[in-house]
Structures are given as C-alpha cells and as structure tokens.
Amino acid sequence: MSILRMGGAEIVINQKGISLMEVLVTVLVLGIGLLGVAALQLTSLNANQEGYYRSQATEIAENLASKMRVAKNELYNGSSLLSDIVADYDSTSTAFSCTAAATSCVDSVCTQAQRVAYDRWQVCDAAQNDLPDGEVFVTVVNGIRARIAVAWTPTSARTDLGQVQVLNQRCTGLGVADTKDCVILEVIP
C-alpha cells in the first residue's frame, strides 16, 4: 500500500501494477488494428498489380496502333484504302496466334503479308510475356477504324475484404472471354 499526498490530503493507493485484464484489452485492440493495416496492404498490392497490367496492356495496344500506321506509310504507300490496311490486321473476334515466330522483318525486306504477320506475332508475344494469359484482338469498325483490345486474366478480388471484381463489359463484344479484363483502343491508321 502506498500513500499519495496532494495538498493537505492523503490518498491511499491499493493498486500495485497493471491488471492482466487491461493488458488483454490492449493486446486485443492492437491486434485488430494490425489486422486492419494488413488488409489495407493486401488491397493496395492488388490494386497496384491491376494498375500495372492495365498500363502494360495500354502500351501493347499503342504499339500495335503504331505498327499499323508504319505499315500504312511503308507498305501500302497510299495505294490501298484504309479499309484494306485495317482488314489485314483484323482477327475476326479471335485472339492473335503466337504459336510460331513469324519471319523477322527487322533485317530483311518483307512482303506486305509477312510484315503484317510479323507485327501481329510481335504484339501477341509481348502480350503473352507481359500479362497473365495475355491476348490481343483487332476488330474492324465501320470499314476504316481498328478496335484493338488487349486482354488479361485479372488478379482475383478479395471478397473477404469486401472487394468486388468488375470486368469491362465492352470486352466481351470483341471476342474476349467474360472472365478477362481488357483495354480497348480505337484508331484510324
């Protein structure tokens, strides 16, 4: 027992330490707070990964659009209609095939068909290497526009944390599976 003196009064203090109950409550509150921090960290990592995939897909789509513009200037030389150029890159609602490497057009002269095949293979290869289950689709719109869709399998949402996975519904109309997310770029080459 200890005595505390304040002013002229004496106060008797019977407590000699912290009770075990106070320690347990403190540990419980601290544990709940740390679980919240861990949940926020997981959500942040998931969102960061999806942002990375989206930026990679955008870069791949822009790369294909650039290749189409270069092909228009180098190969077609103004002798073809825009609809012919777009039609050569059209995948008719199926993903580009990356099964075998096309003839390289980097150090050699290629025909129009070889150049288109090589461009398609390069873009498809980039999508498969940079994205999970990456695929590239090209659809002709109104005869002169190319709608480029780059699709990937998104990271799964953490439903235990309240996340909801929302996929882009415009992708399914381009031949993309409804379990995938995609970036769509529409260009006139």
Listed residue (131, 143, 130, 148) closest to 187, CA to CA: 148
Assigned domain for 2 exists:
no
pLDDT at position 85 is: 65
pLDDT at position 27 is: 93
Assigned domain for 58 exists:
yes
Write the CA distances from 178 to 61, 91, 112, 165, integer angstroms.
Answer: 19, 18, 34, 12
CA dihedral sign of residues 144, 184, 120, 56: positive
Domain that holds residue 137: 17-187
- DSSP element (H, E) containing 185: strand 181-187
Assigned domain for 6 exists:
no
pLDDT at position 53 is: 92
Cα separation, 173 vs 146, whole angstroms: 14
Q: What is the mean pLDDT of each run of 10 residues along the chain (189 residues)?
A: 66 66 90 92 86 93 88 63 65 71 77 82 89 87 83 75 66 79 85
From the number of C-beta atoms within 10 Å of its C-beta (0-12, 13-18, 19+), residue 153 rates as: middle
pLDDT at position 60 is: 93
Q: What is the pTM of this model?
A: 0.72
Which residue's entry shows tokens 């004496």? 10
Assigned domain for 156 exists:
yes
Rounded-to-5 percentages of helix, strand, coil across the chain: 50, 15, 35
Cα separation, 15 vs 22, whole angstroms: 13
Assigned domain for 3 exists:
no
pLDDT at position 118 is: 84
Assigned domain for 5 exists:
no
pLDDT at position 62 is: 94
Assigned domain for 171 exists:
yes
Q: Domain count for the chain, please give it.
A: 1
pLDDT at position 158 is: 61
pLDDT at position 93 is: 62
pLDDT at position 37 is: 93
pLDDT at position 58 is: 94
pLDDT at position 114 is: 82
